[in-house]
Structure 1
């Protein structure tokens, strides 16, 4: 997931030679060792946030006061606005980011407060008629400026420049309320400390190393609702009641409060859409994206659903049959069975044990191999900055160097261990955007800074952090976002990095997931945490054979989320999200949800920038697999193809439409064949 902060929620919807990894001591400059501060004094974040807001307001006011048709105004009005917004982003993104990662609850609260202020400010800009007309009258002098102008003005027009002043005021108030709801929803999830207490017997089947690691006292074991803990219990606990309790706690994160916040957000979104002349929020959001309309997005999902329906049904029947082999009196499967039966049947059919596989994937070894792979493909090398100031123990800072010149291209932080108050999933955060600037270093380009945030199993006394293979896949995916953000060469911050059409943003990352199924890559990233041995050929064969196991159910789950998202955002606003989700779950899977749960309350995507956009995960997969087909032909380590991919896709950002970027890289128009081949289905007609 490419995380979108309040700033980027507005701006992105606007503009919607081989080197191995090396760790080296690096004295560094102030720039390379103090890129993102986290040592703020109480009240300092608030003051810096207010200062950034005031500076942005002053710059915008100055811009609007420039004499009409002056020489400066004709040449510079659009670029001045772009620069003001980029400067503002560079000042506030590092401040609001801390709400997701800081170990200090006070700093997280201040960061959240800043996030709310930013969310209140940004909607006022794109409903400002004076600013709009100032920018509209500017004259672009290059193709790059024409692109910037069209994307910027589109956002103003999408935000109601044709409305009366009264309606514009109403629109601004609605957007500010919506921004507050979204921030509150996210913080409720980040601050959730729900746990479930079990006896040792109740955790029968759960790996001993996990049980030994978690908190326990007087024979009771405390399991958090962080995803790593949740998955361990749901896939391994043989006690159905244990799984029910775990699932109940996990699906009630955020609970009644977040359910209310989401429903109110949907109501506000519907009001905003209608005020702007759209039938619903989904049509408003999808306008300007690859899909163009919600009907086209829905048709795509429904076509997949029809093709996958039988396969998903067969997957459920296989799980039911497996359950009967364990419990002869069982008549059906339930929601709390699915992860467990899937994991255990996979283990039985393919002689696969995820815990054994994880022993070959210590985090550091995977990172080394990942860096080596991406170095080969993209002509860069990764250098750890030693002793860099960071916000938590275990966080690392890296420089990305050009392999040929040694030039520092960009930076990123790596934060992969769970802790209280931290963002609960995996995402790539863009903190400083790449852009041309007169104040940058000699090359005239501001170096991007990003952060990969994840929650992998933490190290213990006897073992390092070990990754399941699906977590390895997640790591390659998120680093795909990092590459998109940090290898950009687009001249404008609002069009650089992953600021692309929302239904294309996942494609570059999804494509790179394919590398974790290649034997050469698996050897490169593996190293048994005790023996140091590479993963055996036999185990790789078993893993690859099991790749498509339960593919119907896995894809149907993504379909469920995408269809649910489009349904609630195509409604008139008065929607019961829990019952809507529950009904759709039963319809797609043929079984009920666990009674008393509230899945939407924990569905952070829909309050974090993916509203009316979740369909994009499957939509972009079409293009991801098509791009990968070129690497299949040319070779997964073909540096020339990697260089072309970097130039045509990663560096370009949103300087051209996604369909044109794809055609440039592929040398032809995109087609869905590879995607449907991956799913083992024929293309919907």
Structure 2
């Protein structure tokens, strides 16, 4: 459908300033949306008892608030430090206003007096969730408690910003002699030329870090880089995290909960803090025997290099796992990566997801998209010829940018009102990619697809990735499966000679991928245990307690001198809920069981998944979405079978 027809029937994308004054634009955008939210809240409080009228105004208020809250994106990605700082300041204002709304008894009284007459199922769900939000904010507490909750909320926002900023701004490095790059791929060595002192600098940014710890034959250098990585934001974030944990503990107590995990899980699939602890132990026990067997294989291989070795360190695990896969499974990671030049992977990803979900990704010229950096690529998203969203891919590292991989909302879609726009923020190399990175890109792109497809609802609170937080990773983890399929990879995985990745190599990669599942599950539980137990109880020494949890849940010993919690960004956004990744993986394996592995693009099942899960956003509980698609409740069976493969 031509653009003229397209734009006549759908809202226009957000008008970004491009080379214009970003500082003024970010400020104006946030302030205008806050003003609109205040205006709509005034209409809500005007006294109407008509539920549809009240909820319509409230939906507009929440839409404006979501637009204002999106200012936090610019703190993570904008190349201008002044814009990043202003975004943090504005974000504090937004969160302060949101807190005030949650504690506004007059506003709450309007909703509490409404009856659901005249509301459809979605409207009733909006009303129920709104009342729940007020209760969880503490609106029914006494005045002194509400005042303290306000203070804690403001403190928490500032501490979260400090925590993230300290990670974002602290890039560490080691300097090594060129000969210590033994084992690294040729293109990596060529990209890391010696400086005037004859030394090579290796940073903790992912494009430097991941290949080095995977391929470097220098154990001491791997140790040095691992230690640098695990001391990012130390010591600053140690106290910041302690203060943030204290804020969360006190908040939970004031709201009548025994712990922050109990408060946090009240609105999640898992249901309770104790259920999180039980889940961590369940997965750990299920994986322990296999992890021990895999560790023995790594140790045996390490003893070929060092006969006196009696343990495998965390910084050994990726290197020796790579050697085991190369020597025992005939998979050489350095050969595999030659089939994955970044640009080919990006275009292949778009083709695969477009075919799977019936979408078109239409490149938007940079001058029309108004992006914030030359390396950002923007695309309009079309379904059945109609533009339904826009995405922006910001996929390479730079100073001051978010250091991990995540999807950020730029605009939450509201049918007929505003087009969903999402930003994928990653830190991939500009040249060849490891296959693990290809899998990561598919994973993160799954969030973007979810954001756009789920952004076609009239209710902003159900828009996009709006399900329970411990379900949000499941659709993305399922999309990883397409990055392992030989037929899928054959569509874009080609080396510099134009040769397609051989099917027998992909088959070998599959066999090799089975190795390390137990190790992975155990290490994930060590992270999940930190996330849970740091929040469940107070601990004076987070490093020592983290090491204790590492010893309990992982087969790899703690790294002496490391303080990984200081750079563990998920302790902010996911708080006590890092278990989410494994919980979602359980569901993802169950969702994938509905697909035909011999035809991953079979339209009937792909369309059903798109429409019954992704496009629904948060209109139903996640368990109901899964049951609608599978025709039954979710179970552990597929995950258990996967672990046993």
What is the match of residue 102 of structure 1? 78
CA deviation string 1:525-547 (max 9, x = no partner): 2121x211110122112111111
Task: Answer yes or no: is 1:288 the counterpart of 2:267.
Answer: yes
Change in 2 beyond 3 A, CA 1:200/1:498: same
Cα distance, 1:503 vs. partner?
Answer: 0.9
Match of 1:543 among 503, 509, 525: 509
8 A contact 1:116–1:183 mirrored in 2: no
Report 1:210-609 matches (<5 A).
210-214=188-192, 216-218=194-196, 219-387=198-366, 388-402=369-383, 404=384, 406-436=385-415, 444-458=416-430, 465-488=431-454, 489-528=456-495, 530-571=496-537, 573-608=538-573
CA deviation string 1:6-46 (max 9, x = no partner): xxxxxxxxxxxxx9xxxx9xx99994584575733555534
What is the match of residue 84 of structure 1? 61
Change in 2 beyond 3 A, CA 1:570/1:37: farther
8 A contact 1:500–1:658 mirrored in 2: yes
Report 1:649-668 matches (<5 A).
649-668=613-632
What is the match of residue 8 of structure 1? none
Cα distance, 1:429 vs. partner?
Answer: 1.1
Alpha-carbon distance in structure 2 between the residues aligned to 1:127 and 1:519: 54
Cα distance, 1:144 vs. partner?
Answer: 1.1
**Helix, strand or coil at the partner of 1:532:** coil
CA deviation string 1:34-83 (max 9, x = no partner): 4575733555534543444344334324432x1354xxx54322221221
8 A contact 1:74–1:137 mirrored in 2: no
What is the match of residue 47 of structure 2? 67
8 A contact 1:99–1:111 mirrored in 2: yes
8 A contact 1:112–1:187 mirrored in 2: no
What is the match of residue 138 of structure 2? 160
CA deviation string 1:183-204 (max 9, x = no partner): 1111111122322211112222
Unaligned runs of 5+ in 1: 1-18, 437-443, 459-464
Report 1:177-196 matches (<5 A).
177-196=155-174
**Helix, strand or coil at the partner of 1:384:** strand
**Helix, strand or coil at the partner of 1:397:** strand
What is the match of residue 677 of structure 1? 641
Alpha-carbon distance in structure 2 between the residues aligned to 1:158 and 1:28: 40
**Helix, strand or coil at the partner of 1:630:** coil
Alpha-carbon distance in structure 1 between the residues aligned to 2:452 and 2:51: 32
Change in 2 beyond 3 A, CA 1:677/1:331: same
Cα distance, 1:380 vs. partner?
Answer: 1.4
Alpha-carbon distance in structure 1 between the residues aligned to 2:192 and 2:33: 42
Match of 2:177 among 183, 199, 224: 199
Alpha-carbon distance in structure 2 between the residues aligned to 1:199 and 1:304: 42
8 A contact 1:409–1:486 mirrored in 2: yes
Change in 2 beyond 3 A, CA 1:32/1:79: closer
What is the match of residue 5 of structure 1? none
Cα distance, 1:587 vs. partner?
Answer: 2.2
Structure 2 length normalisation: TM-score?
0.94
Change in 2 beyond 3 A, CA 1:92/1:154: closer
Cα distance, 1:227 vs. partner?
Answer: 1.9
**Helix, strand or coil at the partner of 2:594:** helix
Unaligned runs of 5+ in 2: none
Match of 2:576 among 602, 612, 617: 612
Higher relative CO (CA 8 A, sep ≥ 6), structure 1 or 2?
1
8 A contact 2:403–2:426 mirrored in 1: yes
8 A contact 2:550–2:556 mirrored in 1: yes
Change in 2 beyond 3 A, CA 1:421/1:204: same
Which stretch shows the higher mean deviation, 75-84 or 585-594? 585-594
CA deviation string 1:409-431 (max 9, x = no partner): 11100111111111111111121
Task: Answer yes or no: is 1:144 the counterpart of 2:111.
Answer: no
